[in-house]
Chain A
Amino acid sequence: MLEVNGLNVWYGVTEVLRDVSFRVPENKIVALLGGNGSGKTTILNSLSGMVAPRAGTIMFDGTDVAGWAPDRMVKRGIVQVPQGREVFAAMTVRENLELGAATRRDMAAIRTDIEELYELFPRLRERRGQRAGALSGGEQQQVAIGRALMARPKLLLMDEPSVGLAPLVVDMVIDTIKTLHARGLTILIVEQNVGVAAAVAEDAYVLKDGEIAYSGAAPALINDPEVLSSYLGR
């Protein structure tokens, strides 16, 4: 479904990603692991169009989408759940979900999609009239995931969905990811929390200093002591 080849990204004079290549097969969960500043988020930002790569191809469903603007990526089906959740804090939960469908025009379907989301996240139904900024971290994560789903993505990009959440809430996020996967969604997840990646991912790539250092099946990779110590600092 997604095939990235030779991706190069620069921020000004700094090379942040060097010749990064990886694949996300349809209906799989793939994890990108690595320490701070290794370039994980930059990869997601290139895929969502927030950052324009200098070189390389991003083949998505047979089209090279490298360098496309975010709105085209969303319409194509690549949607990002950003790090730190980034909800519309002053707007209600329901308005946040509606905004997730900003690129769609099928108003009736949008309304039924919101109802479906309330089934997935009953908490959001209870909170639908409240300002998103007033919710707890876990609830905001549900808003952020729900908002991304409202665009009807084919590939969901999740940037550190567990960061800053209590262990119980992290379990809820893991369950949500598994549910979405079971429904047929393809997911690329960036995590510092190896436990979360181990719980959901099938394939994994480890980044170091903007390059892919290791790749393989997620469980094997994560249980490899050498990978853990030298690249993930465990």
Chain B
Amino acid sequence: MEMFSYLLATGISTGALYALVALGIVVIYKATEVVNFAHGEMFMLGGFLAYTFHVMLGWPYVLSLILAVLAAFGLGILVDRIAFRPLMQRQSLVSVLLAMVGLSFVLKGVARHLWGGKGDYIPFPPLVSPEPIMFGGIMVMSQQLVVLGAAAVVMIVFALFFKLTRAGRFMQATADNPKAAKLVGLRIDRVYMYTFGVGSAVAAAAAVLMAPLTLLYPDIGFMLFIKGFAAAVLGGLTSIVGAVVGGFLIGIIEQLSAGYIHTSMQEVAAFIVIMVVMVLIPTGLFGRRGMRRV
């Protein structure tokens, strides 16, 4: 029971981070119908930037977080301007995807160059005491609670942004019907640009929250991208709620299977579940019925 609760707590807190990564992927996919293959690098660079601000420069944590999120917003816009907008104007989806993969390698290379050689794992200091807390019989790392709480805040802010702000409405409208969005006078290329920015900002927030729990290394982006993408697909790729649920499910499944079956299962368990779900429900858990398959 103690092991189960420990695994569950770990699964929920990593799941929250997968959910945040998946949110960015889904928001960008909904608007542009393109999976941002450089999304993991937004996460990775967000983490390294926060590390630079917080550890190397000694700035306060919250300030570092905000700066990293803003910088990632800018990086998202860069992805749009380099890999999406110029190529989409020629209606070439394959070129867009290749450009994004290429850009992700470039960004990874830049990170290696700036923050150390290959294989360097950079520790990020914990925010709170590393001592575990006991809840009844359940042992929880306090950092996990911080991560979970902060992830919940990010998700709520994100949801409110779409519900309450005009910019959020414009993004929703463009995802809903791009032709109509143009007709009402929205400049949809700008909407796409800001969508890339917002998605990347959320990824950076996830990275800064996660850094104290794991370590930072230039390849972390790809690992997180794959997990976030899996969570997004599990949730149906077009559903915000689906991305969040998918993230938590992947986090919990991989912890439980690592704990009860074998640690090597941690990396594969989630994908086995996804394959099963995709065979049984091709549109994912929250996907639109009748939507074309991905």
Contact = CB atoms under 8 A, between A and B. Distances in A.
Interface residues of B, number: 15
Contact of A71 (B169, B172, B180, B185): B185
B170 interface: yes
Contacts, number: 62
A77 to B, nearest CB: 11
A221 interface: no
Nearest to B170: A102
Interface string B177-201: 1011111111100000000000000
Most chain A beta-carbon neighbours within 10 Å: one of B170, B172, B181, B184: B184
B173 interface: yes
A88 B173 contact: yes
A199 interface: no
B187 A100 contact: no
Given A86-B179, A86-B180, A70 B185 contact: yes
A103 B259 CA distance: 55
Interface residues of A, number: 25
Given A69-B187, A99-B169, A102-B170, A88 B180 contact: yes
B33 interface: no
Contacts of A95: 169, 173
Given A86-B177, A87-B177, A89-B176, A98 B183 contact: no
Interface string A74-93: 11000110100011111100
Contacts of A50: 179, 182-183
Given A95-B169, A98-B169, A99-B169, A82 B176 contact: no
A172 B184 CA distance: 24
A133 B154 CA distance: 30
Contacts of A91: 169, 172-173, 176
Contacts of A71: 182, 185-187
A1 B173 CA distance: 31
Interface of A: 48, 50, 69-71, 73-75, 79-80, 82, 86-91, 95, 98-100, 102-103, 147, 151
21 contacts: A48-B183, A71-B182, A71-B185, A71-B187, A74-B184, A80-B183, A82-B179, A82-B180, A87-B180, A88-B172, A88-B173, A88-B176, A88-B180, A89-B176, A90-B176, A99-B170, A102-B170, A102-B173, A103-B185, A151-B184, A151-B185
